[in-house]
Amino acid sequence: MSRNWLYVLFWIFVSFLTLFPIYWLFVISVKPAVELFSTPDLILRDFYWQNYVDVLNDRTLRSYMVNSLVISTGNAVLCTLLGFMACYALSRFDMGGKESIFFWTITNRMAPPAVFLLPLFLLLTQVYKIGDFSLLDTRIGMILVYCTFNLPFAIWTLRPTIDGIPKELDEAAHVDGASPWRVIWEVVFPLARPGLAVTLILTWVFAWNEYLLAATLTNFNARTLTTGLSEYVTTTGTEWGIMATISVFTLIPALIVFGMVQRHIVAGLTFGAVKG
Amino acid sequence: MQSNRLGWLLLAPTLLILAMFGVFPFIYVLFVSFHQWNPFAVNPEMAFNWAANYRRVVFDAQFIASLGVTAAFVFFAVVSELILGYALAQAFMKDFPGKAFFRTIHTLPLIMAPIIVGSVWKLMTTPSIGIIPHLLDNWFGYDLNIGQSAGAAFVLTVIMDIWHWTPLVTLSLIAALVSLPPDPFEQAQIDGAGRWQIFWHITLPMIRPAILATVFIRLMDALRTVDEVLMLTGGGPGSATRYVGVHIFKEVFPRTNYGYGSAISVVVLYVTIVVCWLLYVGLIAPRNKKG
């Protein structure tokens, strides 16, 4: 009995180490700039919300937030839908080489993202453009670019779900005269909903958290919150309070989402780690 | 069976997008890497120059140095995470109050954006703002300044990586430990085996596949670390923490020599593939064959 309490004490200590850096982020975000350089104080005494007001009133940062929301939501919906269609095809049809295709999709996720920077930049500026319109610095461009890591993830997490839905259900609906299209969207899709929800949420978090591609493939119009954050770190002087506040704003949606899928997240993250 | 045409139709958008944004970029970059191409130079035309770019990569001291520090970073981070992760996973094997709660907290860093992790640690370690330099100064009289000390910056990036990714190792090893059958352990205890003997001869061989898979994932992941290091140290001081990804972001991308940048991208991709392949062949494949 007493040894159990030793474990609890040990885990309180570990949790402290895990949580303290996040707590410190919050502490910095609610301190006025003048107090930052006095002796650091572990305990929060009063809250200074001006940083939050400043960030919310900043038109540039507000547009970055909207961009982040539009891009990650658009990308998550697109990847989940396309991933569902692809998994249905891989699961129900007898296409030649389908297992190779399945494996090939994941190799797209294995390449280090830094290697994608120059190729994608060149492609978006030199090749994928119609007249003056290029995909560089557009929301739709970022939604498509994020598919390189989120679409393989969606396919790999959805495959077991779709494989797990009995084929007899499709066939029964088929015999009853439903068109293949209706079978997909009115029989299989509703049954796959739990898996689809988890995939949607995890792809959303990955897109929301992405920094490297957004930093190189956007200038202003499609800048995201994560790149906005790095703009506040300059060699001439960093606005620490604002930086901490933007970090809090970036962190909160991920935390909420984490609460929603906490139970399913272990499997997803173990795989998701293949590309941070 | 339904007609395969519908299958291909359903698969088509996926294949198209992955080909456009995953495969074609590399065919294109391979093509560019054999050319002299600088759109902002006096002579902006693309000109074929054989393997000149690759020759430059091989003799690029900065690039080779960045490969070296990356290897050191990956080694220290992954080894520490493995040892810590195993210890923490073992500490989860007992029943104690609040277990699920503690596990949830332990998982938190995993969902944080790497750039936020970098920002959090920057706020912790920047002199006069962060609490860590303050405490180190008070307790040990040690002056921590990651803007000046190369060693301190390197160690901090490793610590940050440990903070961020140890939970992943813990979670996968918990999964492995939970699935172990109890019989061999009971038998060994009856036979009077010590704790260390049980660990070395029973636990370790049984969870070896899980350990290898975790090491594989963590290695590939650590190799591509960019965002958090960019945020924490910016690759500095000097080039102490300029890992390969950081090098590409800071040195290759902003320059306008597209041919040379492409060659570096191709080489990094090639090195990554070779490293992963060697790891796979050396660690994971032989185990699968045996058992």
**What are the tens digits of pLDDT across the range B90-141?**
888 888 888 888 888 888 898 889 999 999 999 888 887 888 888 888 888 7
Instruction: Output the six-digit token pair for B129.
Output: 């703002």
Q: Which of B123, B170, B221, B273 to mutate to test the interface with A (most CBs of A within 10 A)?
A: B123
- Rounded to a whole number, what is the distance in Å from the CA of A38 to chain B's nearest CA? 7
> B24 or B291, which is more confident?
B24
CA distance B107 to A265: 9
Q: Are B223 and B216 in contact (CB under 8 A)?
A: no
Quick one: fold of A60-269?
MetI-like fold (1.10.3720)
CA distance B231 to A229: 9
How big is chain B, counted in residues?
A: 291
Residue A273 has pLDDT above 50, yes or no: no
Put simply, the chain B residues between 47 and 106 with a CB less than 8 A from any chain A CB are: 88, 91, 94-98, 102, 104-106
What phi, psi does B226 have (nearest 5°)? -135, -65
Query: Is residue B143 a part of any domain in this protein?
Result: yes
pLDDT, averaged across chain B:
85
Alpha carbon distances (Å) from A77 to A126, A144, A158, B70, B220: 28, 12, 14, 36, 28
Q: What are the tens digits of pLDDT across the range B161-181?
A: 999 999 989 988 888 888 888
CATH number of the domain encompassing residue B210: 1.10.3720.10
Number of domains in chain B: 1
Q: Which of B14, B94, B105 sits opposite A82 (nearest CB)?
A: B14
HEC sequence for B199-244: HHHHHHHHHHHHHHHHHHHHHHHHHCCCHHHHHHCCCCCCCCCCCH
Put simply, the chain B residues between 114 and 143 with a CB less than 8 A from any chain A CB are: 114-116, 119-124, 126, 128-131, 134
Contact between chains at B171 and A266 (C-beta distance less than 8 A): yes
**Which residue range(s) make up the domain with B133?**
60-254
What band does A169 get if pLDDT is binned at 50, 70 and 90? confident
Q: Are B133 and A39 in contact (CB under 8 A)?
A: no
> B39 or B203, which is more confident?
B203
Q: Are A250 and A225 in contact (CB under 8 A)?
A: yes
Alpha carbon distances (Å) from A36 to A26, A48, A247, B146, B206: 13, 12, 17, 18, 51
Q: What is the pTM of this model?
A: 0.87
Going from N- to C-terminal start, the domains of chain A cover 1-48, 60-269
Q: What are the tens digits of pLDDT across the range A59-77?
A: 889 999 999 999 999 999 9
Q: What's the pLDDT at B284?
A: 65
Q: Which of B121, B226, B261 sits opposite A118 (nearest CB)?
A: B261
- The percentage of chain B sitting over the pLDDT mark of 90, rounded to a whole number, equals 22
CA distance A105 to B147: 41
Q: What are the tens digits of pLDDT across the range B199-249?
A: 888 888 888 888 888 888 888 888 888 889 988 888 878 888 989 889 888
Q: Is the peptide bond before B182 cis (omega within 30 degrees of 0)?
A: no
Query: Is residue B154 a part of any domain in this protein?
Result: yes
Q: Which of A121, A144, A276 sits opposite B114 (nearest CB)?
A: A276
The two counts, helices (H) then strands (E), for chain B are 15, 2
Q: What DSSP state is assigned to residue A178? A: -
Q: Closest Cα to residue B214, out of A112, A114, A11, A269?
A: A269
Residue type, B236: G
Sequence-separated (6 or more) residues with CB below 8 Å from residue B209: B176, B284, B287, B288
ipTM for the whole complex: 0.85
Query: Is residue B108 a part of any domain in this protein?
Result: yes
Residue A84 has pLDDT above 90, yes or no: yes
Put simply, the chain A residues between 144 and 203 with a CB less than 8 A from any chain B CB are: 144-145, 147-148, 151-152, 155, 174, 180, 184
Q: Closest Cα to residue A215, out of B269, B28, B230, B23?
A: B230
Question: Quick one: closest CA in B to A97, which residue?
Answer: B8
3-state secondary structure of B251: helix
Q: What's the pLDDT at B164?
A: 93
Q: Which residues of chain A lie closer than 8 angstroms to B94, CB-CB?
A: 3-4, 7
Q: Are A102 and A159 in contact (CB under 8 A)?
A: yes
Q: Are A84 and A239 in contact (CB under 8 A)?
A: no
Residue A146 has pLDDT above 70, yes or no: yes
**Chain A CB within 8 Å of residue B163 CB:** yes
Query: Is residue B259 a part of any domain in this protein?
Result: no
Alpha carbon distances (Å) from B125 to B10, B143, B159: 50, 11, 12
> In 10 A of CB A112, how many CB atoms?
24
CA distance B259 to B54: 10
> A270 or B227, which is more confident?
B227
Q: Which residues of chain A lie closer than 8 angstroms to B23, CB-CB?
A: 108
What phi, psi does A130 have (nearest 5°)? -115, 110
Q: Are A256 and A205 in contact (CB under 8 A)?
A: no
Contact between chains at A152 and B253 (C-beta distance less than 8 A): no
> B82 or B145, which is more confident?
B82
Put simply, the chain A residues between 205 and 234 with a CB less than 8 A from any chain B CB are: 205, 208-212, 215-216, 226, 229-230, 233
Range in A188-197, B141-150, B263-272 with the lowest mean pLDDT: B141-150
Q: What's the pLDDT at A275?
A: 35
- The percentage of chain A sitting over the pLDDT mark of 90, rounded to a whole number, equals 30
Query: Is residue B73 a part of any domain in this protein?
Result: yes
Query: Is residue B195 a part of any domain in this protein?
Result: yes
